[in-house]
Amino acid sequence: MIYKKMDKYLLGIDIGTSGCKSCVIDNKGKLIASACHEYSPLITRGRWVEQDPIDWYRASVVTLKKLKSKSCIDFKSIVAVGVTGQMRGATFIDRDGKIIRNSILWNDLRNEKEVKEINEEYSDILQAVTRNPLNTMCTLPKILWMMRNEPDNWERTYKVIFPKDYINFKLTGNLQTDLSDASGTSYYDLKKQNWSDEILNIFSIPRKKLPDIYPSTAIIGKVSSVVSDEVGIPKGVPVIAGGSDATVESFSIGLINSRQCKIRLGTSGALSTIVNDIDSLSNIKNYCWSYILNDKWMLDTNTRSCAQAVKWFRDVFYKDRPKTGKTYDEIDEEAQSAPVGSEGLLFHPYLLGEDAPYWDSGLKGNFFGVSVNHGRSHFARAIYEGTAFALKDVMSTFGDLANGFKENIFTGGGVKSKCWLSIVADVLGMDGKVSANADAAFGAAILAGVGVGVLGKLEDAICLCSNTERFIEYNRENHKIYSDLFYKYKRIKRICDKHKQ
C-alpha cells in the first residue's frame, strides 16, 4: 500500500537487550509498518554483559531502511520521533560526544561487591529516597565499579546516560534523559522526581555528570542534518525524551491503574501495575518507577531469565537448527507433546542469578528429576513451566495488591508461543488477554504524537492503546496440578540453598 504524502507519520524506536525494533504509525494511532534487527550483547569474563552503543545506532539505521523499503512510506511525512529502550545500562560519554567504553548493561553482574557494601551501610537511606531495592541491575553500583576499577575512564566521563538516550543523542546531539529511566538508577528521589543530592554526595558522584531529566513527551531536540542525510527523516523533526521500555510498553497497552497487571514474557519476565500513591506502600520488594502519566508510578518486579532461558535452550539443545522463528515453533511443538508437569522434570531458570523474590545473583539454574524416560520434549516443556513458576514466585511480592488484579495483559515476545502462554496462564491461575499494541516501539511512537500535539493529550492517547488481539483462559485442572508442582519447585530451591551454604 502506498500512503499519501499529506499524511502525518510518527516514528518509534525501541533499543532492546537483544535487538532493535522500529515502527511507523499514522496520526490516528494505526500501526503502518515495523522492522527488527538483532544484535548480541558481549558476555565477557563469564558474568560481564556489555554492548558497544554504536551497535544500537547501527541497528536502528538498519530498521529504518527496512521500513522505507517495505512500507512505501514517504519519510518526509514523519513529524516526530520517540525512542524507548532497556533500563539502567550505564553508558559513558565524553565531552566531545564520544563513547568512552562499552555500556555496562542491566544484567551485568560485576558489581556484586559494590552492591553488598552499599546495602550494608546505606540501605535505609536508599530505600527512603529511591523507594527501590538495590541490586546488581541498578546503575549506582555500576558507576561505583567504574570509579574504582577504571578511574581514568570515570574522569573522562562527561555524562552518564542510558541506551535510549544514546539514540536520542545521535539523532539530536543533545544529552538528556527522562523520569522513568532516571528512576531506575538508585540515585533518584522518587517523590521529588529529580536526582538525589543526598545520595550523590554520599558516593561522590558529581551532579554535572548526569543529564537533565524531562517528562517522556517533552521535546528534547530535533533531527540533525547528518541523520537526515543518512536515513531520510527530515532535518528539524522534533524528538521527544521517550522512556524506559518497561514504562513505555505498559503505556502502549493502556496500563493505568492497580486493577490491571501486565505479565511480560521478555528477556526477563516481569509483572507490573500502576499506583496513584507511593507513600502508602509499606514494602520495598517491588521496583517503583516514575510513570508516563502524571502523579502515577509503576510497580515492577522481575524474574531475571525468562525468554533468556528459552533462547539459551534453543542455542544449546537446537544448535543444529537456524536461529529463526521456525526453531521456536519446533520447540513449541515438542513442548506441547510432553505431558503437564513434564513427568516430574523441574527447571529453575536462575541462569543469571535471580531477582524477585530472592534478590540473589549467586543462584544457579538446574534441572531436577531427570530420568531415562525424559527426552528433549520434556526439557522443552520444563523450560516453559520453570519460567512460569518463577513468575508465580514474583507474584508473591505484590502481597494483597495482587488480589485486586482484574485485568491481566500478557506482553513480550513470548506471547507468540501459544504453548508457553497457556502454561503461564495455567500456572498463575489467571485468565488474560494479549494486547494488539503490546510493543514499546509502538508506545514510543504514540508518545511522540502526544509530544507534538498530533494525538492530543496522554489521556486521549490511552484510547489508542487498549485494543485486544486475543483472550486467554486458564485450564482449572492444569492449575491444580501446577499448584502442587509449584510447592515442589519451592522446596527443591530451599534444599539447593542449604547445599550451597
Q: Are 225 and 235 in contact (CB under 8 A)?
A: yes
Chain-centroid distance, C-alpha 485: 28
pLDDT value of residue 162: 98
- Residue-level pLDDT at 284: 55
pTM of the model: 0.87
Q: What is the pLDDT along the chain (501 residues), one digit of tens a residue?
A: 334 445 799 999 999 988 999 999 999 999 999 999 999 888 877 789 999 999 999 999 999 999 988 767 889 999 999 999 999 999 999 999 999 999 999 989 999 999 999 999 999 999 999 999 899 999 999 999 999 999 999 999 999 999 999 999 999 999 999 999 999 999 999 999 999 999 999 999 999 999 999 999 999 999 999 999 999 999 999 999 999 999 999 999 999 999 999 999 988 899 999 999 888 776 557 899 999 998 899 999 989 899 999 999 999 999 998 877 899 999 999 999 999 999 999 999 999 889 889 888 889 999 999 999 999 999 999 999 999 999 999 999 998 889 999 999 999 889 999 999 999 999 999 999 998 888 899 999 999 999 999 999 998 888 887 788 899 999 999 999 999 999 999 999 888 776 665
Nearest-angstrom CA–CA distance, 146 and 104: 10
Helix, coil or strand: residue 406? coil
Q: How far apart are CA 84 and CA 12, in angstroms?
A: 8
Asked if 297 and 291 touch (Cβ cutoff 8 Å), the reply is: yes
Q: What nine digits make up the cell of 465?
A: 492503546
User: What was the pLDDT predicted at 498?
Assistant: 67
**In whole angstroms, how large is the CA radius of gyration of the chain?**
22
Structural domains for the chain: 9-246 (3.30.420.40), 254-436+467-501 (3.30.420.40)
pLDDT of residue 501: 56
Beta bridge partners of 494: none
> 80, 239 in Cβ contact below 8 A?
yes
- SS3 breakdown of the chain: % helix, strand, coil, rounded to 5? 40, 25, 35
Q: How far apart are CA 258 and CA 400, in angstroms?
A: 11
Half-sphere exposure of 314 (CA within 13 A, CB side): 18
d(CA 441, CA 273): 20
CA gap 385, 366 in Å, rounded:
13
* Cβ-contact 221, 171 below 8 angstroms: yes
List the alpha helices (DSSP H) in 132-185. 139-149, 151-156, 163-172, 179-182
Please report, in angstroms and rounded to a whole number, the separation of the first and last CA atoms in the chain: 63
